Amino acid sequence: MAVALSRGLQDLGHEISWTLLREAGDLGNDLQQDFPFESGLIQDGSPFRWVGKLRDRLRRADALYMLDHQNAVVLGALAAKWARVKRTVVAVHTTGLWGGKPSLGRPMKTALRGVDAVLALSETHARYIVETEGVAEERIRIVPNGIRIQDFETNAGPGLRKELGLEPDDLVLGNVAMLRPEKNQGALLEAAASLLEEFPNLKVVLVGEGDERGSLEEAVRSLNLDAVVKLLGKRNDVASLLSAFDLFVLPSHPAVETQPVSVLEAMAAGVPVVATRVGDLEAMLGNGKFGGLVPVGDTNALTRALRELLGDPKARQALSLAGRKRVQDYSLEAAARTLESVFSNAEASRLGTTA
Domain that holds residue 110: 2-146+332-354
Task: Band the pLDDT of 347: cuts 50, 70, 90.
Answer: very low
Question: Are residue 348 and residue 304 in the same domain, yes or no?
Answer: no
Average pLDDT over residues 36-61: 84
pLDDT digits (tens, 9 = 90+) for 266-286: 999 999 999 999 989 999 999
Is residue 229 scored above 90 in pLDDT?
A: yes
Same domain for 66 and 183?
Answer: no
Share of the chain above pLDDT 90, in %: 70
**Same domain membership, residue 165 and residue 40:** no
Segment among 43-57, 72-86, 112-126 with least mean pLDDT = 43-57
63 and 140 both lie in a single domain:
yes
Q: Are residues 65 and 126 in the same domain?
A: yes
pLDDT band at 11 (very low <50, low <70, confident <90, very high): very high
Average pLDDT value over all residues in the chain: 90
**One domain, residues 165 and 214:** yes
| 18 & 63 share domain | yes
132 and 212 inside one domain: no
State whether 25 and 68 are in the same domain.
Answer: yes
pLDDT in tens, 230-280: 999 999 899 999 999 999 999 998 766 889 999 999 999 999 999 999 989
Task: Please check whether residues 314 and 284 belong to one and the same domain.
Answer: yes
pLDDT at residue 351 greater than cutoff 80? no
Q: For residues 31 and 83, state if they share a domain.
A: yes
- Secondary structure in 3-state letters for the chain: CHHHHHHHHHHCCCEEEEEECCCCHHHHHHHCCCCCEEECCCCCCCHHHHHHHHHHHHCCCCEEEEECCHHHHHHHHHHHHHHCCCEEEEECCCCCCCCCCCCCCHHHHHHHCCCCEEEECCHHHHHHHHHCCCCCHHHEEECCCCECHHHHCCCCHHHHHHHCCCCCCCEEEEEECCCCHHHCHHHHHHHHHHHCCCCCCEEEEEEECCCCHHHHHHHHHHCCCCCCEEEEECCCCHHHHHCCCCEEEECCCHHHCCCCHHHHHHHHCCCCEEEECCCCHHHHCHHHCCCEEECCCCHHHHHHHHHHHHCCHHHHHHHHHHHHHHHHHHEHHHHHHHHHHHCCCCCCCEEEEEC
**90-135 pLDDT per residue, tens:** 999 877 766 667 788 899 999 999 999 999 999 989 998 999 899 9
Query: Can you give the CATH number for the domain in which 86 is found?
Result: 3.40.50.2000
* Whole-prediction pTM: 0.90
Are 240 and 311 in the same domain?
A: yes
Count structural domains, the chain.
2
